[in-house]
Each structure stands twice: as structure tokens, then as C-alpha cells.
Structure 1
Amino acid sequence: MHTFKLFIETTRIYNVIKKITKLCLAGTLALGSMGTALAADEAATSPFAAENFSATLTFTSNYIYRGLSFSKDDPAIQGSFDWSYGNVFAGIWASSLADQSGSGYELENDFYIGYANSFAGIDWYVMPIYYHFYDDSTKDTAGAEADVFEIWLDASYAINDTVSVHAMYAYSPDFFFESGDAHYIKADVTVNLPQGFVLNAGYGYQDVQGDNGDYVTDKGWDYTHWDIGISKDLAGFNLDLRYSDTSEDSKTDTINTGFFVDTGNTDDTVTFTVSRSF
């Protein structure tokens, strides 16, 4: 039941969410087809049945978040524990971080809950998510918090057995380090290739209004990013090799997001990721 294809945003929580929403949709269709026979096996439909839980373990050579390196171009270990039942899903995702510029942030935890459904061939979900960053006494953020709350709206559509398209929108009332309203959009296309290979390319845009200014500039900032990669399931593992870049040159441009961006964090990079779900 938990076999899946990693899709779209490599080394990021989106991979896990995509898997869980697929399970939700598959479970909903199964419930409809089983009809009254479902009542005969209450254990199989219990919210706490083992089949409703899954976990994913990931190793990546670079934790890339919307084109930016959150691990300072170093490797990261990531994992998730997830639950889905009917159209509802929830989970927790974690990743190691680089201790950048003495900030003290070395671990990220994301908590999420959502609702998934399908209409006219379009798979969609809505999901609030809370990013929490663990720190130590060495951080210096002028009192501004790194934690972020976002709401995701996501939709994907399979044009045929080979090509599918995807788009997402995320809104935050106060982005990293209390930098103000933020809007994010991304669009992707995925192509199933021979021999089980999957080609994916995406383009995203992040805009932050910067209307707070407690720690970051109050002038606001925005940037674009893009990526292209190829992945394959092999012996129970998913392997993903991906190139990504941003519109910013770390040597001449500045995206003031606190410790997340310093020299090199906006540069182009090639990332290798291996993951397995249980």
C-alpha cells in the first residue's frame, strides 16, 4: 500500500505529502468500491490500523528548500512519520540543518495536517503546516522567531500515462524571522520514461513583503528558482539526481532571510537523494 513514486520537489517534505495524499485518494476509492462489505471488517477500517501509518527515511547531499540550501551545501538526514485515513492525513517531518553563522539552528521539525480529494481528474489537497526550528543559546535574531506557519493549496493532473502537471500555492502571514506576508507558487511537469525512470522539472517564485523588519529588511524581497532531475525506484529505494538554481547570485545579490542565506546558499547545485518508505 505504501509503494509510491517520489514526485516533484526532491529532498523536501513535499515528497512525503505527495505520497500521503495518494494514499488518501486510493483509500477513498477503495472504500467506495467495497460498499457494505467494509462493515464486516471493522479492524481493517479503523483509524489506527497499521496500514494507515507510514514512515520515510531520507539522506540527501544538500537540503534544498525552494532553491536555497538549508544545510549550507552539506548533507542532511531527514525523516517523517505519517498517518492517513479516508481523505485526512497528518504527520511530522524532520531534517538536520547546518549551524550557519552561529545561529544555533540545527534541527527543523514540520507539523502538518490536511485534506485530500479528487475532482474531474484533478488530485488536490489543502494543508496547514508549521515549521519549527530548534535553537541554542548562541542564536542572534534580535528577538525575531524563525518559526513559520503556512497554508498550502496543491493540485496535480495526469494528462496521460506518461505526462502529469502540478501546481501549488503557499501563503504565510509572517515568514521566516517575522519578515511579513509571503506568497509562493510553483509549477512542475513530470514525464515517465522507459525503464522506470522519471523526469521532472519545476519553476517557483517566492515573494516576501518584508512589512515587519524586526530582523530582516523591511523593503521586502523576492526571487525565482528552478530545478530539473531524474529519479528511479530501485530495490525498494528511490534515487533522485537533481540540478537546481535561483535568480540570485550570492556574490552580488542579497536575500536577507537571516541565517538561511549566506555566501553560496543561492548558487546552482547538483543534489543526490536516496529515500525509503516503510
Structure 2
Amino acid sequence: MYTRILKTVSLLMVSMVLSVNALAAGGDRPKDETGPVETGPVKAAKESNAFDDFLDDETLLGGKFTTWVEFASDYVFRGESETNDGKIPSLKAAITWSHPSGFYLGYYGANNLFPGNDAAHNNPHINALWGPYAGYSVKDIAGSGINYNGMFFQYIYPGSRDSNYLEMFNYLDTQIGNLNLKFEYSPTITDWFGVKGLQSHNVAILPSYALPHKFVVSGGVGYQFFNNHGPNLDANGNGKEELNWVHWNIGVSRKMFGYNVDLRYHDTNIKEGHHDFYGFSSNHQIVDSRYVFSLSRSF
């Protein structure tokens, strides 16, 4: 009798040992499972944390976002006031996604005010400018110390679709001690302001120099010229098209309390009565000399 009891106890112990070994080896579950199946609140919590981690990440597809804003007394572009001679202050903003490869995408917006024929002598159809941009930048090309930045920008005037156009900005620059020399060539890809057959080109030299106490003096001289294969644009009727102009600026800037502070003088060579775009008493005020004060910040 005792022999039978001992045999039974021995069989039970052997069975328990085999069961423990089987559990340790994972023999009680399918080979493709690595843990208990999570359902209900546990699964929902983990998925929620993963979503939060995605939104909290500072990168998207390997790139980072930056934002730029500027408040200024006027908006001057190639010597021309974009706020009808500073009738209203200028507010600009841009958001950019930049990839380490040098590729970037963004969107730009600004308020706008052009001369026109409404009661206040403004253009009632154009009061804003915005649009997407895409570009590529590369530094120290082939060890030359020359950097390149190229960008396509689509001008969109929400109240005047016929004025929309596409332009490509191209910049080369190099650093020589405290002096940075930058060169620009920017042609339009589509018709300038929607004028059929009219192509715009801007060439400029844009130097800047670092001064003591982190001040920077900078400026530029540019030439805006056109190729016209479209309508006759001799608006003043003197027998020739006078479309091109020279523009220049000089100013000083410094970063103060987290903001870039800039004071700048702008001017052009456009004379009243001698230009087919801006030579008239109704709009010449937007291309005469002016000082502009601005505050900007990137974050």
C-alpha cells in the first residue's frame, strides 16, 4: 500500500515539474505571442500615450518648425511701400518646416494696402498677401565657403486672383571676416501681377557688416527690370515704356530683449511723371524715400 502511495506522489511531483518547465519555456501560449493580450482601459491608455508622444515631439518627418513674426511702421519691398505709404502698420508672419537635408516648406502672410480709386484712395480689392513657399539651402558648396538658398513663392492676393503670380528667389552669400556678401537674382515664373507676357527680374547685392556690441549695419542696391512680350505699357504716353527702377536701403539692427530691432532708410530712382507704373500723382507716394522701424522675432 505504501508503495502505491509513493508512486502516486512521485508521479504528481514529476507532473508539476514538467508543467513549470513548460510555462517557463512559453509552451502554454502560441509562439507568436510575447505577452498577455491587452484590451480595454490598458490598451486605450497606451494608445493615448503614443498619440500624446507624437504631438509632443519637436520634429515631424525628421524636420522642425520655426515661426517668424514682424511688426513694422511700413512694408517696403524693392523700394515700394506695400501699405500705401505707411497708411497702416505692417504685420507679417511665416511658419517654416525645415529638414536637415536643406529642404524646407512654409507659409507666409502679411497685411497689404495698394493705392486705388475708392474714397480713401486705396485699392479695395487688395488688403492682404499670403502664399506657400518651398526651397532648398546648402552651406559651404564644395568647400568654397559659398552658401546657396533658393525658394519658390506663390503670391496670393485673396481679393484679386488675377494679380497672383509665382516667383523664384535665388541667393548666394559668403562670409569674409565681419562682412557678409549676398547676391540675389529673382525672376518671376508666371506673369508679374497677372499682366500677360510681362516677366519680372530683380538683381541685387546685399552686404551686411557686424559692428561692436552686436550691432549690424546692412543694406542693398537692386535693379528691378522687365521683359515685356505682352501689351503696350506706355501709360504716360511719351512713346516709350519706362518700367524698370533702381532701389536701395541701408539700416542698422540689433537683437534686444529677444527681439530683432531694425531702423532702415529706403529709396528709389523713380521720378514722378517719368515711370509707367509709379510715376503718377495718385501712386508715386509709395516709391519715394522713407524710414521704416521694425520689431521681429523667431521662435
Query: Same fold by TM-score, threshold 0.5 exceeded?
Result: yes
* Gap runs ≥5 in structure 2: 1-55
Is residue 191 of structure 2 the alignment partner of residue 170 of structure 1?
no
Q: Are the equivalent residues in 2 in contact too, given 1:236–1:276 (CA < 8 A)?
A: yes
- The percent of aligned pairs where both chains have the same amino acid is 24
Q: Distance in 1 between matches of 2:223 and 2:166?
A: 18
Cα offset for 1:82?
0.9
Partner of 1:78: 92
TM-score (norm 2): 0.69
Choose 1 or 2 for highest CA Rg.
Answer: 2
Give the 3-state SS of the residue equivalent to 1:265 in structure 2.
Answer: helix
* In 1: Cα distance, 2:279 partner to 2:66 partner: 34
Q: Does 1:122 align with 2:108?
A: no
> Unaligned stretches of 5+ in structure 1?
1-42, 137-143
1:198-252 deviations in Å (ceiling 9; x for gaps) = 0002100001123223888594610000100000000110000000100102x33
* Paired position in structure 2 for 1:243: 265
| Residue in 2 that maps onto 1:63 | 75
Structure 1 CA distance, aligned partners of 2:137 and 2:259? 25
Q: Quick one: distance in 1 between partners of 2:60 and 2:214?
A: 33
Deviation at 1:150, TM superposition (A): 1.0
Q: Residue in 2 aligned with 1:225? A: 247
CA contact (8 A) 1:246 1:267 kept: yes
Give per-residue Cα distances to partners, 1:120-177, cap 9 Å, x unaligned.
11110221111111217xxxxxxx82111111221110011x1110001011141123
> Aligned partners of 1:209, 1:175: CA distance in 2, in Å?
10
Q: How many Å separate the matches in 1 of 2:83 and 2:211?
A: 31
Task: Give 1:93 shift.
Answer: 1.0
C-alpha change, 1:257 and 1:216, in structure 2 (3 Å) is farther
Matched residues in 2 for 1:198 and 1:255: separation? 36
Superposition deviation, residue 188 in structure 1? 1.4
Name the residue aligned to 2:200: 182
Contact 2:266-2:289 at 8 Å conserved across structures? yes
Per the alignment, residue 158 of structure 2 pairs with: 134
Structure 1 residues 255, 231: CA separation in 2 closer, same or farther (over 3 Å shift)? Answer: farther
**4+ long deviations beyond 3 Å:** 43-49, 214-220
Q: State the shift of 1:113 in Å.
A: 0.3
SS in 1 for 2:277: coil
Against the structure 1 CA distance between its residues 194 and 255, is the aligned structure 2 distance closer, same or farther, given a 3 Å change threshold?
farther
The alignment's TM-score, normalised by the length of structure 1, stands at 0.74
Give the structure with the larger strand fraction: 1
Q: Is the 8 A contact 2:82 2:114 kept in 1?
A: no
Distance 1:48 1:216 in 2: 51
Counterparts of 1:1-278 in structure 2, within 5 Å, are 46-48=59-61, 52-74=64-86, 75-86=89-100, 87-101=102-116, 102=118, 103=123, 104-118=125-139, 119=141, 120-135=144-159, 145-160=162-177, 162-173=178-189, 174-178=191-195, 180-213=198-231, 219=241, 221-249=243-271, 251-256=272-277, 262-278=283-299
For this pair of structures, how many residues does the alignment match?
226
